[in-house]
């Protein structure tokens, strides 16, 4: 079983190499221990009860100890018992080792004189923690025998909380899920600490507005006025340092109200330094579950948006519901996001059960962001990285899109310099993965879509429950231009990707299909070591791809000077489906790997002296590639050589020639007589 600590740190291998960073929460929110930080520091209850011998010793303070006590604490208490300490001395021992004390129940706390060194008490019967307070903080506080007040800190005994924690009910919130608590919640938010909702439901008629450094945990907020023309249940604008932990929002709508950009469960805008952990949004109506706009440097840990439906009289023809929407935001990280069951109906029908919805949307100029793991299920478009302003320098690791009716993972518009690594699209209706240029600026600019890598991804059973709608060319991996930009995207690379059908598809499906027009000398769209299995239509396995090789020839007859090493100018492609990127008449490697280089140079007839060629790598002669042939009377002189070795992306490959006939000598004019072929060898 994965422990809570393992889930936070990724030590259980939840995401493999893309594990969560250690301590994603502030240290004040994490259990502190001076030793024993290993994952199994929480021991089994039965084992611990046996160690303590609680029943035999009659030690009421230790009986029924829960399974989250620290290894260190167990060792210290064992040592205390061995010394036959009195109960008061044992309490002081607790104070010396951890500043906290486990007690069986409230009556034991009321009967105890707790030493001053102890700042936190845990009641074992309810699994809740209480912290020392300077004065009586609220009506739920407990007073110990020595006169000290103890306020409830958390319903979660795994967490230590800051000392300045108060419950929402201490500010007059009812938490019955029916009464309007909005005014009391806003009053509570003036408190400069953390508000604990005690896992109760607080109904609100309107919008909760969070202040700077607002911190709320363990609460559900239910909207009582979901039909308002513009409504967010929880919002913040222009504030920094928010902490929302174990927070839920019930939009509580009918499905007929709202708008995509006007209605949110949670909307956070124009801020930085936020932490959102275990935040959940659900409930019908049009609009967005969790929206973050123009924010920077924040962490989103295990968000979950689910069960949002719309009801409309006719097909809306465009998206009406979004799960998570992050726009124009930078330097952020999302860990294990989950979105599921977004859809709608037309006049109560089921024809749009998953249509016109997007699960996780990133757009409008977001940059320097990463998504680790997560699952998007049962919506129209799973992960949609899009927007007219373009997104840059991003990475998505290990995300799974499942049963999305249109596309699992989509990169649209002006995305640049991104990586989709180890992701899966399972049983998606029309497309597994789509990379497309769209937009209608009319003018090509420097931020056109380019240089995106798909690596170790898989599309499984694409075409599942296909409704013959959406993209006109269904398939597992599709790269497509827009109606305006016919030559984009460029520089898209697919490496070690798989298009898998566990049974033959019921409709024609492409495995890997690229429809971007080839243009010599530009970054090409490349596939390498990709495989199609289970699709009997072999003609649809690979179409239009530029493979990691090139075959170039001289476009004009080049004259070679006498006794002077000269670089060949190879500027024409013999096969346009081969990878080609020219740099001053040479081939440029677009994919690192092991390559075989072959070249042939033909000179016009001349019997005087010899002809020599050598292969160049980045302008330097490769050893053992020199080949020399003597001139021949009446016939062209042909020289060939080859090389195998590793090349990196960006390396150039060229040919140097030398002749000493005593005068300039032209190459032979026959088309294809002089060429250079560079082929990447298959990975083992």
Q: What is the DSSP letter of 319?
A: -
Q: Say if residue 75's pLDDT is above 50.
A: no
Of 539-553, 567-581, 611-625, 646-660, minimum mean pLDDT range: 567-581
State the DSSP H helix or E strand holding residue 108, giving kind and residue range, or none if neither: helix 106-110
For residue 311, is pLDDT > 60? yes
**DSSP helix/strand/coil, 3:** coil
Q: Is the predicted pLDDT of residue 411 greater than 70, yes or no?
A: yes
Q: Band the pLDDT of 260: cuts 50, 70, 90.
A: low
Spatial separation of the C-alpha atoms in residues 108 and 155, rounded to whole Å: 19
**Averaged over 521-540, what is the pLDDT?**
76
Q: What is the pLDDT of residues 324-346, one digit of tens each?
A: 999 999 999 999 999 999 987 77
Q: What would the pLDDT profile of 89-136 be if each residue is shown by its tens digit?
A: 555 555 444 556 777 777 888 888 887 767 778 776 656 678 787 665
397 has pLDDT over 60: yes
For 443, how many CA atoms within 13 A lie in the half-sphere containing its CB? 2
Percentage of the chain modeled with pLDDT above 90: 39
Q: What pLDDT sits at residue 323?
A: 94
pLDDT the model gives residue 240: 96
**In whole numbers, what is the pLDDT of the chain averaged over residues?**
77
Domains recognised in the chain with CATH numbers: 1-27 (no CATH), 31-154 (no CATH), 164-209 (no CATH), 246-543 (2.160.20), 549-680 (2.60.120.40)
CA distance 291 to 284: 16
- Strands in 572-573's sheet, in edge-to-edge order, are 572-573, 549-553, 675-680, 593-603, 637-647
**pLDDT at 347 (0 to 100):** 66
**Whether the Cβ atoms of residue 200 and residue 180 lie closer than 8 Å to each other:** no
Distance CA 587, CA 552 (A): 8
Of the ranges 41-50, 281-290, 297-306, which one carries the lowest mean pLDDT score? Answer: 41-50
- What is the per-residue pLDDT for 580? 56
Residue predicted with more confidence, 449 or 289: 289
Residue 672 pLDDT class (50, 70, 90 cuts): confident
Task: Provide the pLDDT for residue 288.
Answer: 92
pLDDT at 223: 92
Residue 392 has what pLDDT?
A: 86
Comparing 27 with 233, the larger pLDDT belongs to 233
């Amino acid at each position: 079983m994965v422990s809570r600590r393992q889930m936070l740190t990724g030590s259980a291998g939840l995401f493999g190499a893309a594990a969560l960073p250690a301590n994603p929460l502030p240290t004040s929110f994490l259990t502190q221990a001076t030793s024993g930080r290993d994952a199994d520091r929480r021991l089994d209850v039965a084992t611990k009860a046996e160690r303590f011998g609680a029943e035999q010793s009659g030690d009421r303070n230790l009986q029924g100890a829960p399974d989250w006590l620290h290894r260190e604490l167990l060792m210290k208490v064992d040592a205390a018992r061995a010394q036959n300490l009195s109960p008061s001395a044992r309490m002081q021992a607790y104070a010396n080792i951890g500043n906290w004390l486990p007690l069986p129940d409230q009556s034991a706390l009321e009967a105890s004189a707790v030493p001053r060194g102890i700042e936190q008490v845990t009641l074992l019967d309810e699994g809740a923690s209480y912290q020392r307070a300077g004065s009586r903080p609220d009506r739920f506080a407990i007073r110990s025998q020595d006169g000290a007040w103890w306020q409830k800190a958390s319903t979660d005994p795994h967490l230590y909380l800051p000392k300045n924690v108060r419950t929402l009910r201490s500010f007059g919130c009812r938490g019955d899920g029916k009464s309007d608590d909005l005014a009391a919640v806003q009053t509570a938010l003036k408190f400069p600490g953390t508000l604990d909702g005690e896992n109760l439901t607080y109904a609100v008629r309107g919008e909760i507005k969070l202040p700077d450094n607002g911190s709320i945990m363990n609460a559900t907020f239910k909207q009582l006025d979901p039909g308002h023309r513009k409504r967010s249940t929880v919002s913040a604008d222009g504030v920094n340092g928010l902490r929302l932990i174990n927070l839920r929002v019930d939009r509580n709508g009918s499905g007929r109200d709202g708008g995509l950009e006007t209605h949110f469960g949670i909307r956070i805008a124009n801020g930085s330094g936020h932490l959102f952990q275990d935040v959940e949004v659900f409930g019908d109506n049009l609009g967005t579950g969790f929206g973050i706009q123009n924010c920077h440097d924040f962490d989103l840990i295990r968000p979950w948006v689910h069960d949002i439906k719309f009801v409309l009289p006719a097909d809306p023809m465009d998206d009406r519901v979004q799960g998570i929407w992050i726009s124009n935001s930078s330097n952020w990280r999302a860990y294990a996001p989950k979105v599921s069951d977004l859809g709608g109906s037309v006049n109560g029908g089921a024809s749009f059960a998953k249509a016109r919805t997007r699960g996780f949307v990133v757009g409008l100029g977001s940059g320097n962001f990463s998504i680790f793991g997560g699952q998007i299920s049962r919506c129209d478009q799973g992960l949609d990285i899009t927007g007219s302003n373009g997104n840059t320098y991003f990475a998505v690791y290990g995300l799974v899109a499942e049963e999305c009716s249109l596309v699992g993972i989509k990169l649209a518009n002006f995305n640049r310099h991104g990586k989709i690594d180890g992701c899966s699209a399972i049983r998606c209706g029309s497309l597994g993965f789509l990379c497309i240029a769209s937009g209608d600026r009319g003018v090509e600019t420097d931020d056109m879509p380019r240089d995106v890598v798909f690596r170790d991804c898989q599309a499984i059973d694409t075409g599942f429950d296909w409704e013959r709608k959406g993209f006109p060319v269904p398939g597992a991996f599709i790269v497509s231009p827009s109606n305006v930009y016919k030559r984009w995207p460029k520089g898209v690379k697919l490496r070690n990707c798989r298009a898998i059908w566990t049974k033959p598809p019921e409709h024609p499906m492409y495995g890997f299909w690229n429809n971007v027009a080839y243009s010599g000398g530009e970054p090409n769209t490349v596939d390498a070591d990709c495989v199609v299995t289970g699709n009997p239509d072999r003609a649809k396995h690979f179409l239009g791809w530029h493979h990691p090789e090139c075959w170039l020839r001289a476009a004009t007859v080049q004259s070679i000077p006498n006794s002077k090493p000269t670089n060949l100018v190879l500027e024409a492609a013999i096969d346009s489906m081969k990878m080609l990127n020219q740099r001053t008449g040479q081939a440029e490697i677009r994919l690192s790997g092991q390559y075989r280089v072959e070249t042939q140079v033909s000179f016009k007839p001349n019997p005087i002296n010899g002809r020599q060629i050598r292969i160049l790598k980045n302008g330097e002669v490769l050893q053992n590639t020199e080949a020399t042939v003597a001139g021949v009377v009446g016939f062209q002189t042909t020289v060939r050589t080859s090389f195998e070795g590793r090349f990196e992306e960006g390396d150039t490959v060229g040919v140097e020639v030398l002749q000493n006939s005593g005068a300039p000598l032209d190459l032979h004019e026959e088309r294809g007589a002089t060429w250079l072929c560079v082929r990447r060898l298959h990975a083992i």
